Structure 1
Amino acid sequence: LARANLNSFSAGEIQDQVNAFSRAGTVEIQLTAQDVSAWGRDCGNTLPSLLQTISTIPPPAMLRVGMMNPATVMDILDDLIDAFTGDRVFRFLHLPAQSGSDRILSRMGREYSVAEYEEIVRAFRKKIPDITLMTDMIVGSCGETEEEFSESLDLIARTRPNKVNVTRYSRRPFTPLAKEKDFPDSVKKDRSRIMNTAVEALYSEINAPRIGTTVPFVVTEKIRPGSVMARTPSYLGIVINEDHPPGYTGRALLKKDRKYFFIGERQE
């Protein structure tokens, strides 16, 4: 991995920014970094303690925690899960797996195993069963065998994420594989196609039972005149074809599955 030294913003700076966004009427406040769960490791602090502090914002503002590295999640796992149960935190977990092969993870310089990744997912789901899981997968990395690619597909099938960002490997300077022999683009494209086909079928399986259910929502943004994007507490996206301001709350009947979001109808 090619990463700069960690330099965490102070808890006070983040608290001030969150409060300012909340006062300005922002509904979805995102905490972002290359690895959000590493926050505070350079100054004796932790992400769970930060979340406990800043999740005191008043409704309708909600916090969305960004991408976290399994390697830095493991040390704070229990406290992190507790922090995610707060009312002002979306039940949304962006946890990149990158590969279902320990050998490939090691060659990438990742400091976690497939088993540790699955342990984190199980632990979150045990405490927060409806949490939305997003993950990232890299296909066609240098030296990835057909069997190792299949291991990535198997990991997706076991963990059943709600969203998978599939990326074809591309050479990056100063990374462990930078000088390794690369696959032809045709191999990467083929594996990307196979994985995307598999995950789209999975989305349909996961989403089908939700059709016909009624869920709470908060409007986070206007898409266009007469249409808004709303989010459930577990960050499922719902397009509602009505005009409502950000922060408007209600309940919606899920009518149609669009794989990455739902079409919903507001209920009186």
Structure 2
Amino acid sequence: MEKMEKTVYVEGYGCTANQNNLEIMCGLLERNGFIIVKNPNIARIALINTCIVKGPTEQRMIYRIKELARRFRHLIVSGCMVNVNPDKVKEIARKVNENVVVSLVGTNQILNIVKAVKNNIENKQKDFLERRKEIKLCVPKSYKNRVVGITQISEGCINRCSFCVVKIAKGNLFSYPLKRIVENIKRDLASKCKEIWITSQDNSSYGIDKGKQMLPELLKKITSIKGKFLVRVGMCNPATVKPIVNELVECYENEKIFKFLHLPVQSGSNKILSLMNRNYKVEDFKKIVRKFKKRFPEMTLATDIIVGFPSETEKDFKKTIELVKETKPVVVNISRFWSMPGTQASKMEQLDEKTKKKRAKELMKLHLKIAEEENKKFINKETEVLIDEKGFNNSWIGREKNYRQVVVFSKEKLLGKFCNVRIEEAKSHYLIGKKK
């Protein structure tokens, strides 16, 4: 196969797990002699790893599939969109280019990416869609960021949220073997990663399918690995944090774990939480937050909120506003409700877009105010920052122990280094500091 024949243009979207899936697919392709390129003009085949967590995201995927199908004769589509609606994906591509060769790779078939690409180049339209328990650990990967090592600890989840299409895409919980997870992290550290991201659809449910919640045990194993590195624990559902909250707080005492808790509450109304099938109450969320903040007062609390869920009244929304005021999350991922086909919520009576936009705007205004106020508390403090990204000009971007983002200006090469920084300014989304 000639060199041009083996060039692959890639695009990736979505969550941290999706990012890791693309890293693995690129790593496997490179291991087998393929060349990953950023310029579509010099590529023979295109690979797009899709996300459909929300309606606008799905529309973006449809647009990109059309554009790539127009440009390329050979196209691989992977990710959640493939699992949920494979026929639609092919229809979208072939509507704009009847000669395009489209191959589909499901979220639990990514280790077959090399076979998929080789078949596609040979004009064999073979798909890899069968549901299986695929362990995405200890395999080649091409790092998107050389400082950050992403480790998936499971696939799927135990929940059945009425609004969620990801459950349809990823299925039930399958927890990966603990020893393999630890080995994967050791490999990342050996590759000089300094920041480890633990990710899944719900980290605190890890192990439930094996009979017990094992996240605290896993974190203890990870933090016992020798070396200087930091661990970001990804999204945890309040329902599955509740039984292990005391153990988790104890684990967070370890200096290797960022004092960062991503705990999606989704609504401040118990009525709405019930309609969402979230299996916890607002009081549970508050209790978890209080326990963490009592021990780690400067911690970063991140949460997700859906505004305009079916039947959400003004009173329900005000309860969400009051909850945000009380718990003061520094990071709030705000989504206007978008009806996704196949979900329970899509069958409920929908709110009008004007109301959803108004509520999202009000919540965003409050969030930015709280975030800036909380970040200003760091001004004039000195802290250690791990630089994990290059910014513009002479700027570097890093994270301090609470996972606050810090911008540092320096002509030195700081990527992957721990630096002592004095915080001089604070914005809603980041801090600005000077290297000591």
The counterpart of 1:198, out of the listed 366, 384, 387, is 366
Q: Distance in 2 between matches of 1:88 and 1:210?
A: 20
**1:89 to 2:257 alignment:** yes
| Residue 175 of structure 1, CA deviation | 3.0
Q: Is the 1:212–1:253 contact (alpha carbons within 8 Å) kept by the matching residues of 2?
A: yes
- Alignment-derived partner of residue 218 in structure 2: 50
- Alignment-derived partner of residue 22 in structure 1: 189
Q: Is the 1:60–1:247 contact (alpha carbons within 8 Å) kept by the matching residues of 2?
A: no
- Alignment-derived partner of residue 41 in structure 1: 208
Q: Distance in 2 between matches of 1:250 and 1:211?
A: 17
Q: Normalization by structure 1: what TM-score? A: 0.95
| 1:21-51 superposed Cα distances (whole Å, 9 cap, x missing partner) | 1111112111111111111111135100000
- Alignment-derived partner of residue 236 in structure 1: 404
* Structural mapping, 1:153-232, within 5 Å: 153-224=321-392, 226-232=394-400
The counterpart of 1:132, out of the listed 288, 300, 303, is 300
Q: Is the 2:369–2:428 contact (alpha carbons within 8 Å) kept by the matching residues of 1?
A: no
Q: Is the 1:32–1:65 contact (alpha carbons within 8 Å) kept by the matching residues of 2?
A: yes
| Residue 158 of structure 1, CA deviation | 0.4
Do the aligned partners of residues 193 and 214 (structure 1) sit closer, same or farther apart at CA in structure 2, a change above 3 Å counting? same
The counterpart of 1:250, out of the listed 412, 415, 419, is 419
Q: Distance in 2 between matches of 1:59 and 1:152?
A: 42
Q: Distance in 1 between matches of 2:251 and 2:343?
A: 33
Q: Distance in 1 between matches of 2:176 and 2:407?
A: 34
| 1:99-127 superposed Cα distances (whole Å, 9 cap, x missing partner) | 00000000011100000000000111122
- Alignment-derived partner of residue 312 in structure 2: 144
Larger radius of gyration: 2
Q: Is the 1:27–1:246 contact (alpha carbons within 8 Å) kept by the matching residues of 2?
A: no
Q: Distance in 2 between matches of 1:233 and 1:205?
A: 19
| Residue 224 of structure 1, CA deviation | 4.3
| Residue 214 of structure 1, CA deviation | 1.6
What SS does structure 2 have at the residue aligned with 1:73? helix
Q: Which moved more, 1:42-51 or 1:52-61?
A: 52-61
Structure 1 stretches of 5 or more lacking a match? Answer: none
| Residue 13 of structure 1, CA deviation | 1.4
| 1:39-76 superposed Cα distances (whole Å, 9 cap, x missing partner) | 11111351000000011233432110000000001111
- Alignment-derived partner of residue 262 in structure 1: 431
Q: Distance in 2 between matches of 1:236 and 1:58?
A: 24
Q: Which amino acid aligns with 2:381?
A: T
- Runs (4+) off by over 4 Å: none
Q: Normalization by structure 2: what TM-score? A: 0.59
| Residue 191 of structure 1, CA deviation | 0.6
Q: Distance in 1 between matches of 2:223 and 2:340?
A: 37
Q: With a CA cutoff of 8 Å and minimum separation of 6, indicate the structure with the bigger relative contact order.
A: 1
| 1:184-216 superposed Cα distances (whole Å, 9 cap, x missing partner) | 211111110010011111112212232222222
Q: Which amino acid aligns with 1:265?
A: K
| Residue 226 of structure 1, CA deviation | 2.4
Q: Distance in 2 between matches of 1:125 and 1:249?
A: 25
Aligned residues: 267
Q: Which amino acid aligns with 1:94?
A: H
| 1:139-176 superposed Cα distances (whole Å, 9 cap, x missing partner) | 01101000100000000000011111111001123433
Q: Distance in 1 between matches of 2:179 and 2:364?
A: 41
Q: Distance in 1 between matches of 2:432 and 2:201?
A: 31
Q: Is the 1:107–1:176 contact (alpha carbons within 8 Å) kept by the matching residues of 2?
A: no
Q: Which amino acid aligns with 1:103?
A: K
What SS does structure 2 have at the residue aligned with 1:265? strand
| 1:210-241 superposed Cα distances (whole Å, 9 cap, x missing partner) | 22222222212223452211211111111111
Q: Which amino acid aligns with 1:163?
A: V
Q: Distance in 1 between matches of 2:374 and 2:263?
A: 18
